Amino acid sequence: MPLVLVGINHESAPVEVREKLAIGEHALPRTLLALSGLGPVLEGAILSTCNRTEIYAVLDPESGATEEILAEFLAGQHGLSRHQFDGRLYFYRDGAAANHLFSVAAGVDSMILGEPDIQRQVKQAMEAAQGAKTLGTLLNRLFQDALVAGKRARTETEIARGAFSIGAAAVERAAQIFGDSLEGNTVLVLGAGKMSEVTARHLQAKGAPTVLVANRTYERAEHLAAQFGGHARRFDELESALLSADIVVCSTSAPHPVVTRTLIKNAMRARHNRPLFLIDIAVPRDVEASVGDLDNVYLYNIDDLMQIVAGARQTRSGEVAQARDIIDAMATEYGRWRQSLEVAPTIVAVRDKLAAVRAAELARLRTRLPGLSDKEWRSVEAAMESLTNKIAHPAIVAIKSSATETGDSAALETIRQVFGLEREDDDQLPATAVPAANTRRAPDA
């Protein structure tokens, strides 16, 4: 069964394109159900972060569907045409898809090399798919292995050491506006997401004494504000909160900008043009892009901060190579497991066939040799079983061996012919019907 992946990420598209295909936390269960409702989709999972939206699916080989169906689904979910994203989407298949997810989990595919947050996001994507019951055997193992690959890459290599985070980049910029110490500056956290919390913690560590938190859910705002020793604000108090804030960290899950040019323009007048630093790490963006054109307003979105991070990223090719070795080994192991899973029905069929032959021969012998004692009969049965096992053994070894050789189904077919296995078994043997593509197409043309 083909494992396919369609995605868009920070490398293939800027945030203004990426945000159009973002799938928020709240929309995820509904989207997963819609995905599983597609006829050819047997399993599905969605990974949507500020840097990427990716759909992983196992397709029914009989349907003849390709990854295009996922591209159309992804665009369709946002009421858009798939062709609006020509050249922006990437497509991976089978081994390449597995390798990609393992790289993502390990932080190798991230702009912030080895960033820790992606591991949690991969786990969340897996749990969401489990919750929506769209995760089957293949994707479950894929995501489990991805988490192991991520953990191994971080513990067995130095990839995560010295990672220059979004929070650190935000602090660096804030220092250029307000000074090295942010004492006397107020931070406003808009939306109580994990990323905004981490960024605000960086700013608070530089001395920002007051933290205000505004969130649609007031209780969540209170909870987060208590963690910072700050104050909670209701979302409709945003205008007044902007008067006292110097740095605003935005990461709501709102589908449209909540911080408009008019809002900031009015706020700047009321705050006597004191500089305002807006950090918009939400996807879709929370702040209208034109806000950045206002005097004394400095607006940085997720891509801007990522660029800074990439610029500061040290060349750590050695660590990347080591992490890639782990990823490649695990992806190969996953591929083997998949193929062994796919040849399992043939092994069962061979055993069943020999067991049937043995049973038939034993039945025939019973009528021909009625004088055998029970002890003698058990010896005959044992001998027959030993015989069939010895016949089956090299065949099973050959079947398993064929599973390790990508695309080599000749041995499997020969064995099936030798043992006279029925073609209807093929319904249970999708691997033989699927071209063993280990292909990658990214981005699409």
Would you please indicate which residues are annotated as catalytic (active-site) residues? 50
Give the 3-state DSSP-derived string for the chain, with helices as H, strands as E and coil as C. CCEEEEEEECCCCCHHHHHHHCCCCCCHHHHHHHHHCCCCEEEEEEEECCCEEEEEEEECHHHCCCCHHHHHHHHHHCCCCHHHHCCCCEEEEHHHHHHHHHHHHHCCCCCCCCCCHHHHHHHHHHHHHHHCCCCCHHHHHHHHHHHHHHHHHHHHCCCCCCCCCHHHHHHHHHHHHHCCCCCCCEEEEECCCHHHHHHHHHHHHCCCCEEEEEECCHHHHHHHHHHHCCEEEEHHHHHHHHHHCCEEEECCCCCCCCECHHHHHHHHHHCCCCCEEEEECCCCCCECHHHHHCCCEEEEEHHHHHHHHHHHCCCCHHHHHHHHHHHHHHHHHHHHHHHHHHHHHHHHHHHHHHHHHHHHHHHHHHHHCCCCCHHHHHHHHHHHHHHHHHHHHHHHHHHHHHHHCCCCCHHHHHHHHHCCCCHHHHHHCHHHHCCCCCCEECCCC
Question: From the list 151, 292, 372, 411, which residue makes contact with another protein (rule: CB under 8 A)?
Answer: 292
Q: By CB under 8 A, tell whether 273 contacts another protein.
A: yes
Residues between 398 and 417 with contacts to another protein, criterion CB under 8 A:
none
Question: From the list 296, 314, 386, 404, which residue makes contact with another protein (rule: CB under 8 A)?
Answer: 296
| Closest CB to another protein among residues 308, 431 | 308
Question: From the list 275, 328, 336, 442, which residue makes contact with another protein (rule: CB under 8 A)?
Answer: 275
* Site stretch for another protein (CB under 8 A), options 89-97, 106-114, 228-236, 295-303: 295-303
| Closest CB to another protein among residues 104, 250 | 250
| Closest CB to another protein among residues 305, 331 | 305
* Site stretch for another protein (CB under 8 A), options 110-118, 307-315, 324-332, 387-395: 307-315
* Site stretch for another protein (CB under 8 A), options 17-25, 65-73, 174-182, 388-396: 174-182
Q: By CB under 8 A, tell whether 311 contacts another protein.
A: yes
Question: From the list 144, 176, 217, 262, which residue makes contact with another protein (rule: CB under 8 A)?
Answer: 176
| Closest CB to another protein among residues 91, 300 | 300
Q: By CB under 8 A, tell whether 179 contacts another protein.
A: yes
Q: Residues interacting with another protein, by CB under 8 A?
A: 172-173, 175-180, 272-275, 292, 295-296, 298, 300, 304, 307-308, 311-312
